[in-house]
C-alpha cells in the first residue's frame, strides 16, 4: 500500500551537529487493518538524504476460538491450504477453526512447509461411546490481514488420482471420523469461502 504524504507533512528546521531531536507521529485511530511501511528522508547539509523507516502493523481483534485437547480422546487431522479469492492465505496470524455443534474443536494457522503455507489442523471429539462420531464439522476462517471472518467455508478434499475429470471434490458434509487424515503436503485439502 502506498502512503502519500499530505501537503502539511513537509517540515524544515535545523539541527546542530552531533545533536538529536525527537520526532513524534500521530496515527489516526480509524486507520484500517494492515501493514504499513513508510520511509521518511532527512536531508543534511551535503544534500544527502538519510532514510528513516517507519513500520506499523494494525491488527484486528482475534476471534476467541480455543479448544482444550485434554478433554477429548479422539481426533482426526486435516492437512490443507486456505484459498481466498484465488490466493493462498499466508499470514501466520490468521486462523482456521473447526466446530462440532457450534463448539470449537480445532484451531490452526498457516505455517510454511517446503516454503509454502499449509494448515495442519487436529480436530478433537468426545470419547464417551464415540459421541461425536459422524457428526458434521463446520469451518470458519479469520483473515488477520483484513480482519474478516468467513463463517461459510467449504472443504475440498483430494480425490484418488485415477479420477481424471476432477482432482478435488467438496466434502459436504465433512464428518468427524476418529483417526482419519484428509490431505497431505503433496495433495492438500483446500478450504475456500462459500457463496453465502
144-155 tens-digit pLDDT: 988 899 999 999
The three three-digit cell numbers of residue 113, written as one number: 512447509
Separation CA 63–CA 98 (nearest Å): 13
* pLDDT tens digits, one per residue of 5-46: 454 555 667 777 788 888 787 888 888 877 788 887 877 777
β-pair partners for 82? 191
Instruction: Work out the burial of residue 174: count CB atoms within 10 Å of its CB; fewer than 13 is exposed, 13-18 middle, 19 or more buried.
Output: buried
Residue range 90-139, pLDDT digits in tens: 999 999 999 999 999 999 999 999 899 999 999 999 866 678 889 999 99
Residue 162 DSSP symbol? T
CA–CA gap between residue 96 and residue 107 (Å, rounded): 6
pTM of the full structure: 0.74
Amino acid at each position: 500500500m502506498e502512503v502519500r504524504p499530505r501537503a502539511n507533512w513537509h517540515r524544515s528546521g535545523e539541527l546542530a551537529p552531533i545533536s538529536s531531536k525527537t520526532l513524534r507521529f500521530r496515527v489516526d485511530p480509524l486507520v484500517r487493518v494492515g501493514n504499513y511501511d513508510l520511509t521518511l528522508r532527512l536531508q543534511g547539509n551535503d544534500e544527502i538524504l538519510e532514510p528513516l523507516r517507519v513500520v506499523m502493523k494494525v491488527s484486528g481483534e482475534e476471534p476467541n476460538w480455543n479448544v482444550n485437547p485434554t478433554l477429548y480422546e479422539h481426533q482426526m487431522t486435516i492437512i490443507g491450504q486456505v484459498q481466498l479469492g484465488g490466493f493462498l492465505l499466508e499470514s501466520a496470524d490468521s486462523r482456521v477453526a473447526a466446530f462440532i455443534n457450534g463448539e470449537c474443536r480445532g484451531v490452526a494457522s498457516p505455517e510454511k512447509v517446503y516454503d509454502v503455507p499449509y494448515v495442519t489442523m487436529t480436530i478433537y471429539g468426545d470419547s464417551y461411546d464415540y459421541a461425536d462420531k459422524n457428526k458434521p464439522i463446520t469451518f470458519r476462517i479469520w483473515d488477520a490481514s483484513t480482519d474478516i471472518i468467513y463463517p461459510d467455508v467449504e472443504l475440498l478434499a483430494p480425490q484418488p488420482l485415477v479420477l481424471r475429470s476432477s482432482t478435488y471434490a467438496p466434502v459436504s458434509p465433512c464428518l468427524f471420523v476418529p483417526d482419519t487424515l484428509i490431505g497431505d503436503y503433496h495433495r492438500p485439502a483446500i478450504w475456500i469461502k462459500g457463496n453465502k
